[in-house]
Amino acid sequence: MTQDELKRQVGQAAVEYVLAHTGAGVVLGVGTGSTVNCFIDAMAPHRDRFQGAVSSSLASTQRLEHHGFTVIDPNAVTSVPVYVDGADEIDPRGNMVKGGGGALTREKILASLADVFVCIADASKRVPVLGGFPLPIEVVPMARALIERRVRALGGMPTLRANPDGTAFVTDNGHQILDVRGLTVGDPLAFEQQVNAWPGVLTMGVFALQRADMGLFATATGIETVRFG
C-alpha cells in the first residue's frame, strides 16, 4: 500500500472509532496534517451527528467548513470526548513529537481539552525513542537567539523554519519555529517541562504532558490499535 492509502485507511478507522464511542450532539476535536485531512474527509458524511468541531489550525478549519461542519471556538467548550490528531513520531508510551505542520501550540490546547486523545498514523511513525524527527519549538521572535543558544548548550542544532521562498515561517499564532536536530529525548516529560519553562517559548513539540491515550496505526496488513497506559 502507498502512504496515501495507509493514511486513508487509518482516517477511516478513526471515523469508525469516534462513531462507536461518542453519542450524537458532541463536539469533535480535530488536529492538523495530511492524515487528519483523510479523517476529516471520511467523517464528512456524518457531520450532522455532531454539534460541531474544534480545530487546531486555520487549514483544518477551512477543510471542516468546506465539508459543512460548524467550527466552534475552543473557548466555548469545557471538554471534548475525543481529539483525533497525527504525530511525527510516537514512542511505546504514547509520547509524541508533533508540530511538523506548525500547529503544535493549538494542538496541545485541544489535547488538554480531550477526554481521549487518539493518535492516527502509519506504522513508520512508531519509534523506540523520540528525537529522529526534528523537534519544533514555537518561539516569540524576539527570543529566537536566546532559545537557539540554550538549545546548542544541550547539544542540539536549531534551524529557523522557513517558507519555500526563504522567508521565516510564521505560525497561526504569529510566532516562529525553531526545528532542532541532534537530540535524543530519553525522558520526554522532563525535557518538555524544561524547555517549556524557558522565557520566550510558547510551547515545544514533545507531547508528554498531553501524550496519546491510544493509537491507530495503519500497516500493510490492517489497522493496529494500541492503548497506552
Cell of 169: 515561517
87 annotated as belonging to a binding site for a ligand? yes
99 annotated as belonging to a binding site for a ligand? yes
98 annotated as belonging to a binding site for a ligand? yes
131 annotated as belonging to a binding site for a ligand? no
34 annotated as belonging to a binding site for a ligand? yes
Distance CA 64, CA 54 (A): 10
100 annotated as belonging to a binding site for a ligand? yes
Give just the sign of the alpha carbon dihedral 162, 40, 50, 212: negative
7 annotated as belonging to a binding site for a ligand? no
User: One of 5, 16, 89, 107 is an active-site residue; which one?
Assistant: 107
DSSP state of 57: S
Give just the sign of the alpha carbon dihedral 34, 161, 88, 133: positive
Cell of 206: 514533545
35 annotated as belonging to a binding site for a ligand? yes
Cell of 6: 495507509
4 annotated as belonging to a binding site for a ligand? no
Distance CA 211, CA 201 (A): 19
86 annotated as belonging to a binding site for a ligand? yes
155 annotated as belonging to a binding site for a ligand? no
Give just the sign of the alpha carbon dihedral 83, 66, 103, 158: positive
Q: Give which of 3, 5, 64, 2 is closest to 30, Cα–Cα.
A: 64
The CA radius of gyration of the chain, in Å to the nearest whole number, is 17
Distance CA 224, CA 154 (A): 36
Cell of 170: 510564521
User: Does 107 participate in catalysis according to the annotation?
Assistant: yes
88 annotated as belonging to a binding site for a ligand? yes
Q: Which residues are catalytic?
A: 107
Which segments are annotated as binding site for substrate? 32-35, 85-88, 98-101, 125
Which segments are annotated as binding site? 32-35, 85-88, 98-101, 125
